[in-house]
Each structure stands twice: as C-alpha cells, then as structure tokens.
Amino acid sequence: MTGSASSVLKTDTRLLSENLFLNYGLESLFKDVAIIAGNVNYIIFDIDDYYTVQQYITSTFKAVLIGIVTHNEYNFIDEHHAIYRIKVDASIAEWRELLILAAAGQFFPRSEKVRLTANERNVLAMLVKGMDIRQISCELNVHLKTIYSVRYHVLTKLGCRTVLDYQILSVSK
C-alpha cells in the first residue's frame, strides 16, 4: 500500500490505497481546496482495503477512518472503530461536510438495517452451508434463474459482492 501526506490540512492525512487514480484525485482535491477541519488525523482508504487497514487499528488508535465506496459495499461491517463512508464520486462540498462532521465526531444518517424475506434467508443459509445453485434449486423446487436472482438481490442488499464476502461477515460475528 502506498501512503502519502497532504500538507494543506492542518492535520496528518494518509491516503492508504493501491489505487493510484484514487490517490492522485484525493491529493489534487486536498491541494486545490483548503479544508479547515480542526486538529484531527485522517486515514482515507478504498473500502476494498478495509481488512488490510483493520490490522493497523488498535485500542489506542487516534485517527478518523474514511472509507471510499463505489456503492453500498461493506455495509455489513459492524466495526469497533468508527468508519466514515463516502461515495467515490462525491463532490467537494460532500468531502468538506464529511471532514467537518468527522472532526466533530458526528455521523451522516445511515440507512436502516437490511430486512430479508423468509425466502431470501433460506437461500442465504443454504449458500453459507456451501450448497451450490443447482442443489438449492432442487431443494426448494424452483428454477435456477430464480435462485440466481434471489442470490444477487440478497448479496446486493447486504453490500457484498460475493458469497465469500458474506461468509467472512458470518465468521467475524
């Protein structure tokens, strides 16, 4: 991972991402826009790098984590340390607002918990058990396309890209 510091802020800002375009864009943003956000240390990272960044978090950790997301990725993370999230295409005004709220320890309003139907819970439970789509289709006596559709919608609701992401979530809880 690459790390760089911005001298525009009166704080230490580290961009932890292997995405060079993201790093360059954020560095330009912080150079072009003077953001006064108090005396807070920020770590800005691509949400895909969450598990890598997580290893650096300790109980004495004194920084604000900001995860950049492309959609509702990793909404399932029930973190012990506050993580602020911002969309990758956020405007400069949204960045300003986020940094000011983060400095004050406030959060954006978050969406409610995900609600799954009974059918979605059944399919998800079978996926976690390791059953493949064909086995689930036979077990529930429904068409393969229905199971693919249900799986896609469940994983989208949970903010996971794959069943593996969901299994990591299950193990962590």
Quick one: CA dihedral 133, 134, 139, 145, positive or negative? Answer: positive
Helix pair 118-128, 133-140: axis angle to 10 deg: 140
Domain 118-172 has CATH 1.10.10.10: yes
**What's the distance, CA 79 to chain centroid?**
11
What are the tens digits of pLDDT across the range 65-122?
777 777 555 555 545 566 778 877 777 778 878 877 777 777 665 555 667 788 888 8
In percent, the amount of the chain with pLDDT more than 90 equals: 9
CA distance 4 to 25: 13
Domain ranges of the chain: 13-104, 118-172
Assessment of whether the complete model's pTM goes beyond 0.75: no
pLDDT at 146: 92
All residues at 6 or more sequence positions from 125 whose CB lies less than 8 Å from its CB, including other chains = none
CA distance 128 to 165: 11
Range ranked top by mean pLDDT from 51-60, 74-83, 117-126, 155-164: 117-126
- Average pLDDT value for residue range 28-52: 66
CA distance 141 to 114: 26
Question: What Cα–Cα distance (Å) separates residue 23 from each residue in 103, 113, 170?
Answer: 21, 31, 31
- Average pLDDT value for residue range 157-172: 67
Strand partners, 64: 42
What are the tens digits of pLDDT across the range 123-149?
888 887 888 899 999 999 999 999 999
pLDDT at 134: 93
pLDDT at 135: 94
Q: Average per-residue pLDDT in the chain? A: 70
